[in-house]
């Protein structure tokens, strides 16, 4: 178990960095080259109209499925973070229950084109208009704004990998059984990030990244608020056709 005793040797930190970068690359759902190549493949007027004509429950279900696919890649990422599988299953679930959506939102900035404010969805790039029938305009604007702000940091894939792991390994989550262990994991990840930023001569990024955490938390609670609003109007839909993993995480 790499966390007993608690090495802080540089070799350990560099090995930890490499392992997290590899985990991110192996579980990133869309390759960066693929996204870059498709960035100008936009939805046509007719395709946009088709999305906007979906009923609210159809669009909610469709987006819940897409979100759940993204979350599954984040679960695989978590499993590959050294020490994560050494945690008790309840703590692994506690970290993922809130952290998975946050990592999805961080990763979304890889799929975002700031030049025309579009996001990669269903194989093409679309604006917030694409999601009009969800009835969650404020949430979508907030999510797109967040993507813009993360893109503005121009993170490398390695930096995004480290930041994603820090978002996930959060010792402040309520109901953790072994908070100390999560804290020790988190400390080594923080050392990794500052080591990496020093190497990249971008130490100012550290503070900007930590500032993103509170925005992430507000986006996640806004999502849960919207889900609550939707499931009151369509309780059967959520119960019968929403992905089971989505329900486990968010209801």
Partner 1 sequence: KHKILHRLLQNSTS
Binding site for partner 1 (CB under 8 A): 72, 75-76, 79-80, 85, 89, 92-93, 96-97, 244-245, 248-249
- Distance between CA atoms of 216 and 142, rounded to whole angstroms? 10
Token readout for 231 is 């499931």
Work out how close the CB of 80 gets to partner 1 at its nearest, in angstroms, rounded to a whole number: 6
Instruction: Provide the minimum distance between the beta carbon of 207 and partner 1 in the complex, in angstroms, as a whole number.
Output: 33
Nearer to partner 1, 135 or 243 (CB): 243
Measured from the CB of residue 58, what is the shortest distance to partner 1 in angstroms?
23
Dump the DSSP string for the chain.
-TTSS----HHHHHHHHHHHHHHHHHT-SS-HHHHHHHTT-BPPHHHHHHHHTS-HHHHHHHHHHHHHHHHHHHHHHHHTSTTGGGS-HHHHHHHHHHHHHHHHHHHHGGGEETTTTEEEETTEEE-GGGGGGGS-HHHHHHHHHHHHHHHHTT--HHHHHHHHHHHHS-TTSTT-S-HHHHHHHHHHHHHHHHHHHHHTT-THHHHHHHHHHHHHHHHHHHHHHHHHHHHHH-HHHHHHHS-HHHHHHH-
Nearer Cβ to partner 1 (39/80):
80
- Cβ contact 66:148 at 8 Å: no
Which one, 31 or 85, has the nearer CB to partner 1?
85
Which residues fall within 8 angstroms of residue 125, CB to CB, at 6 or more apart?
Answer: 38, 39, 40, 41, 42, 43, 113, 116, 118, 119
**In the bound complex, what is the minimum distance in angstroms from residue 70's beta carbon to partner 1?**
14
Q: Which is nearer to partner 1, 138 or 248 (CB)?
A: 248
Question: In the bound complex, what is the minimum distance in angstroms from residue 75's beta carbon to partner 1?
Answer: 5
By C-beta, is 26 or 138 nearer to partner 1?
A: 26
Smaller CB separation from partner 1, 65 or 93: 93
Please report how close the Cβ of residue 4 comes to partner 1 at its closest, in angstroms: 21
Minimum CB separation of residue 79 from partner 1 in Å reads 5
When the beta carbons of 74 and 111 are compared against partner 1, the nearer one is 74
């Amino acid at each position: 178990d790499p966390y007993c005793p608690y090495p802080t040797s540089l070799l350990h930190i560099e090995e930890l960095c490499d392992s997290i970068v590899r985990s991110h690359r192996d579980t990133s759902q869309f390759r960066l080259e693929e996204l870059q190549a498709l960035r100008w493949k936009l939805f046509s007027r007719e395709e946009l109209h088709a999305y906007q004509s979906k009923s609210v429950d159809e669009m909610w279900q469709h987006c819940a499925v897409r979100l759940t696919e993204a979350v599954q890649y984040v679960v695989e990422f978590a499993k590959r973070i050294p020490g994560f599988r050494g945690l008790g299953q309840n703590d692994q679930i506690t970290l993922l229950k809130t952290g998975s959506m946050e990592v999805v939102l961080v990763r979304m900035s890889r799929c975002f084109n700031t030049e025309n404010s579009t996001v990669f969805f269903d194989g093409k790039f679309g604006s917030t208009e694409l999601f009009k029938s969800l009835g969650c305009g404020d949430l979508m604007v907030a999510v797109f704004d967040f993507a813009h702000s993360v893109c503005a940091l121009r993170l490398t894939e390695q930096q995004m990998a480290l930041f994603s792991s820090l978002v996930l390994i959060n010792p402040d989550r309520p109901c953790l059984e072994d908070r100390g262990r999560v804290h020790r994991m988190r400390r080594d990840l923080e050392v990794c990030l500052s080591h990496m930023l020093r190497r990249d001569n971008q130490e100012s990024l550290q503070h900007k990244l930590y500032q993103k955490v509170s925005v992430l938390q507000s986006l996640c609670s806004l999502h849960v608020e919207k889900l609550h609003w939707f499931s009151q109007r369509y309780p059967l839909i959520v119960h019968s056709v929403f992905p089971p993993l989505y329900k486990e995480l968010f209801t």
